């Protein structure tokens, strides 16, 4: 026999209260494609991050042989963010002006 005890997430909001929605930060999408290379994804491949010794080399474009180097950073998360921001700014004419 099991008994169900109400918990805080089981409670319903009062009539005049809107339910609260907790937002979780969205992690950038990337996928390992080689021993030292990751593809950065945003509705498809948009660039790459390559691990070279102690730096991460950022590339914009797809496929890899046609991608252009855009930056070198020391943090992987910053490298992925750099690729995403670069591609987003080049897509939006208001940001690239």
* Residue 89 within a domain: yes
Q: Residue 37 burial by CB count (10 A; 0-12/13-18/19+): exposed, middle or buried?
A: middle
* Residue 16 within a domain: no
**Which tokens hold the place of 4?**
């169900």
* Residue 13 within a domain: no
* Residue 70 within a domain: yes
* Residue 46 within a domain: yes
* Residue 14 within a domain: no
Q: Can you give the pTM of this predicted structure? A: 0.65
State which residues form the domain around 84: 28-96
CA pair distance 20, 13, nearest whole angstrom: 9
How confident is the model over 41-81, as pLDDT tens digits?
998 999 999 999 899 999 999 999 999 999 999 999 999 99
Domain count of the fold of the chain: 1
What Rg, from alpha-carbon coordinates, does the chain have?
Answer: 21
């Amino acid at each position: 026999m099991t008994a169900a005890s109400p918990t805080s997430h089981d409670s319903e909001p009062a009539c005049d209260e809107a339910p609260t929605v907790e937002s979780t930060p969205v992690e950038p999408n990337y996928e390992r494609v080689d021993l030292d290379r990751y593809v950065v994804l945003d509705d498809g491949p948009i660039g790459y991050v390559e691990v070279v010794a102690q730096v991460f080399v950022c590339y914009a474009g797809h496929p890899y042989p046609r991608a252009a180097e855009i930056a070198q950073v020391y943090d992987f998360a910053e490298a992925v963010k750099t690729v995403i921001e670069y591609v987003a700014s080049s897509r939006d004419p208001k940001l690239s002006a």
